[in-house]
Amino acid sequence: MNRSTADSKSRHAAGERIPWCERPRPIVALAPMDGITDSAFRRIVRRIDRDVVLFSEFTNADGFLCSGKIRRRLDFTAEEQPYFVQLFGHRPESFSESAKVLEQLGVMGIDVNMGCPAKKIVASQHGSGLMRNVDLACRIVERVAAGCGLEISVKTRLGWRNADNLIPFAKSLESAGASLITVHGRAYEQGFSGKADWEPIYRLKRNLGIPVLGNGDVADWADGLRKSAGLDGFMIGRAAIGNPWVFRNNFRQNSVSWRERSALIAAHYRLMRETKAERACLLEFRKHLAEYVRGIADAKAVRQELFATRDEQTLLARIEALSGIDEQLPRAG
């Protein structure tokens, strides 16, 4: 580890705002995922790795300013640092006003969503819609960069139909003041179909001064490291749902015991329960449970049993019983 890496590690531990360009490489991040990367899940990922950079779910910049409920969605605890908030919207002043409040609340930086393909979002010129309105995209970045002390990053896709405009688009954002770009290796029109193409991301990196993170189909830490060679780091999204251990640098499928898994699942439930009523929590936690048990023998029956649970004492007992799966597995040697 060189001196500057050691310095930034201790600054990181002290919760200091470290500019993207000075963060130790590779930068490894939890991708923002609506309905998934709430405070409970972010804290679970933090328990797996203390250096993963955490992003919030995307949140509407206008809503943040006028709704207490939306604002609470971005609540975070000190252990989540480095914690970045992702906003979407199309009004530069809403971004800059939100950023000022978020700066006071202690977040590390603001990320602008320029990649969401949802029809409702794109129709309002939010998300991927901003890739077709470079002028507005740049004004959002400029306003945030000028209006507060936080760094502003952008998460986008390869482009609308293909990657032809990726380099000029990203260069405009860089000139407007963006400090980091993350690219999901699919175009808007692809949605989530096909395979992520990282080649245009490598080309972008060779043409840009600011750090670039790659994203799309990363299976785990080692896969991310391989795919992001030449880049500044990578983000993991879907692979982490029900499997946050993918952030371990020595992760191998089936390398995590069910004793450890069931303890973490229960911890995850309890963290979610801190901010939600029992009934709401039981329902919301199902999407995580479904993924936590994916791939085990009789997963369908186990899932049904867990989903049918009407009270949390029973649910937690059933989760604890999952640790017995270790005894059923063939032992090595």
Asked if 61 interacts with ligand FMN (CB under 6 A), we say: no
User: Residues touching ligand FMN: how many (CB under 6 A)?
Assistant: 22
Residue number, 111 or 174, with CB nearest to ligand FMN: 111
Asked if 35 interacts with ligand FMN (CB under 6 A), we say: yes
- Binding ligand FMN (rule: CB under 6 A), the pick from 216, 233, 242, 244 is 216
Asked if 33 interacts with ligand FMN (CB under 6 A), we say: yes
Asked if 34 interacts with ligand FMN (CB under 6 A), we say: yes
180-209 binders of ligand FMN (CB under 6 A): 184
Closest approach, Cβ 155 to ligand FMN, in A, equals: 4
Residue number, 103 or 220, with CB nearest to ligand FMN: 220
Nearest to 182 by CA among 89, 250, 109: 109
Q: What is the CA radius of gyration of the chain?
A: 20
Residue number, 188 or 258, with CB nearest to ligand FMN: 188
Closest approach, Cβ 333 to ligand FMN, in A, equals: 35
Residue number, 33 or 178, with CB nearest to ligand FMN: 33
- Binding ligand FMN (rule: CB under 6 A), the pick from 20, 41, 58, 285 is 58
Nearest to 184 by CA among 13, 33, 24, 3: 33
Binding mask 146-175 for ligand FMN (x = CB under 6 A): ---------x--------------------
Asked if 121 interacts with ligand FMN (CB under 6 A), we say: no
**Piece in contact with ligand FMN (CB under 6 A), picked from 161-169, 212-220, 253-261, 311-319:** 212-220
Asked if 76 interacts with ligand FMN (CB under 6 A), we say: no
Structure tokens at 99: 């950023």
Asked if 62 interacts with ligand FMN (CB under 6 A), we say: no
- Binding ligand FMN (rule: CB under 6 A), the pick from 28, 41, 45, 57 is 57
Asked if 42 interacts with ligand FMN (CB under 6 A), we say: no
Task: For the chain, give the secondary structure using H, E and C.
Answer: CCHHHHHHHHHHHCCCCCCHHHCCCCEEEECCCCCCCCHHHHHHHHHHCCCCEEECCCEEHHHHHHCHHHHHCCCCCHHHCCEEEEEECCCHHHHHHHHHHHHHHCCCEEEEEECCCCHHHHHCCCHHHHHHCHHHHHHHHHHHHHHCCCEEEEEEECCCCCCCCHHHHHHHHHHHCCCEEEEECCCHHHCCCCCCCCHHHHHHHHHCCCCEEEECCCCCHHHHHHHCCCCCEEEECHHHCCCHHHHCCCCCCCCCCHHHHHHHHHHHHHHHHCCCCHHHHHHHHHHHHHHHCCCCCCHHHHHHHHHCCCCHHHHHHHHHHHHHHHHHCCCCC
Task: Compute the half-sphere exposure of residue 218: CA atoms within 13 Å on the CB side of its CA.
Answer: 32
Closest approach, Cβ 241 to ligand FMN, in A, equals: 8
Nearest to 144 by CA among 173, 182, 123: 173
- Binding ligand FMN (rule: CB under 6 A), the pick from 62, 151, 174, 217 is 217
- Binding ligand FMN (rule: CB under 6 A), the pick from 236, 246, 264, 265 is 236
Query: Annotated catalytic, 281?
Result: no
- Binding ligand FMN (rule: CB under 6 A), the pick from 39, 60, 113, 128 is 113
Residues designated as active site: 116
Residues at the site binding ligand FMN, with contacts judged by CB under 6 A: 31-36, 57-58, 86, 113, 115-116, 155, 184, 215-218, 236-239
